[in-house]
Amino acid sequence: MRFKVKDIKDFKNILDQVNNISIITHYNPDGDAVGSSVALFHYLKDLNKNPVCIIPNPLPKNISFVLKDVNYIIAERDFKTAKYTISQSDLLLIVDMNTNSRSGENLEKVIKETSCKKVLIDHHVKPDKFDVNFSFSDSSSSCEVVYNLLVRMTGKKVFSSVISTALYLGVITDTGSVSYSNDSPEVYMVLSNLLKSGIKASKLHQQIFDTYSFDRLRLLGYAISHKMRVFYKQRAAFIYLSKKELANYNYKIGDLEGVVNYCLKLEGVDFCAMITEREDKIRMSFRSKDAAIDVNVFARKYWNGGGHVMASGGKSYDSLEKVVETFTKQIYNQDFMPHE
């Protein structure tokens, strides 16, 4: 990760001139989105700025512990305050998303109406242009980007335990506990420096991953044993779940986190999806364990989404049945394989 000297200088100049800062992340916030926002919050607070985290909608219970002592607004619950806060900001930090629309339609509109400076801190491909872009698509997580940014900003390598906890959360969730493809030596170095703050990795790991409700574990079992379709010839699989099925298991936000990855545990399966019926749309998650299968391209081309080469998402406003039918055809057509 190479920061441009000019970008660091520009960011320092901007920080010198601002006080009210909104840190905005993507809809359906995950560990990386919240972790990078919270780490930036504490960094800015220590600089005597007035930061606020704007989180589009409620976050999973197992990651909400990082919000302790953080000034934050859940926009979906209190849109008026979120809108007012953003409008009064001197600077917006756009975190863990490559475009404002990922924060949802309502927040996107509010961001568009502002004229203040905007700085992007992200690791998704094809980012929009902001006043400063700290965008590294080869980075494991936005938290890894934030860590390296703070190193450049402060000259230090070890930070407070609150900052380190937030960054640990994002790195560890976005890398599947350092099991995905972005498992560079640099990631281990970042984790090592985070642990030097005194935080306990095993305890945090437990807090993040071993806090399922019984309903959540039963939903996982049901999804795998009843709702997984496997296409060995095409090296593909998917899980699909209706609103009703989610309700049967008393679904809570975050309960499906990571479920899509179970398809890739199958030997001979390189491409998979999870298709879920939500309130107003069908949500799609795509994963690949073969770098030749670019699910970012697939999601952009067919499902109104995007993300990374090996993990992406998309959506559809068709019925669940129609989406399953279309997606099954795409598997038989091998639409996820590189063409040309």
**Residues found near Mn ion in the complex (CB under 5 A):** 32, 96, 142, 174
Encode burial over 314-324: b for 16+ CB neighbours within 10 A, e otherwise: bbbeeebeebb
Point out the residue whose Cβ comes nearest to ligand 5GP. Answer: 313
289 binds ligand 5GP (CB under 6 A): no
CA–CA dist 56, 136 (Å, integer) = 23
- Name the residue nearer to Mn ion (CB basis): 96 or 294: 96
Point out the residue whose Cβ comes nearest to Mn ion. Answer: 32
18 and 156 Cβ atoms separated by less than 8 Å:
no
CA–CA dist 42, 49 (Å, integer) = 10
- Name the residue nearer to ligand 5GP (CB basis): 162 or 282: 282
- Name the residue nearer to ligand 5GP (CB basis): 170 or 306: 306
Q: In terms of residues, how long is the chain?
A: 340
DSSP 217-267: HHHHHHHHHHSEEEETTTTEEEEEE-HHHHHHTT--TTTTTTTTHHHHTST
Question: What residues contact residue 80 under an 8 Å CB cut-off, 6+ apart?
Answer: none
- Contact string 298-337 vs ligand 5GP (x = CB under 6 A): -------xxxx--xxxxx----------------------
Return the ∠ at Cα 131 (arms to 110 and 170), rounded to 5°. 75
CB of 174 to Mn ion, least distance (A): 5
- Contact string 242-281 vs ligand 5GP (x = CB under 6 A): ----------------------------------------
CA–CA dist 126, 229 (Å, integer) = 32
CA–CA dist 195, 185 (Å, integer) = 16
- Name the residue nearer to Mn ion (CB basis): 37 or 234: 37
Partner from Mn ion, ligand 5GP, none contacting 51, C-beta within 5 to 8 A by type: none
CA–CA dist 288, 148 (Å, integer) = 27
Beta pairing partners, 275? 240, 284
CA–CA dist 273, 259 (Å, integer) = 10
CB of 128 to ligand 5GP, least distance (A): 11
Amino acid found at 169: L
CB of 123 to ligand 5GP, least distance (A): 8
Partner from ligand 5GP, Mn ion, none contacting 277, C-beta within 5 to 8 A by type: none
Other CB atoms within a 10 A radius of the CB of residue 197 amount to: 16
- Name the residue nearer to ligand 5GP (CB basis): 301 or 315: 315
3-state class of 132 per DSSP?
strand
- Name the residue nearer to ligand 5GP (CB basis): 162 or 257: 257
CB of 63 to ligand 5GP, least distance (A): 13
Partner from Mn ion, ligand 5GP, none contacting 122, C-beta within 5 to 8 A by type: none
CB of 88 to ligand 5GP, least distance (A): 28
CB of 183 to ligand 5GP, least distance (A): 16
CA–CA dist 164, 171 (Å, integer) = 10
- Name the residue nearer to Mn ion (CB basis): 204 or 269: 204
Report the interface residues with ligand 5GP, using CB under 6 A: 285, 305-308, 311-315
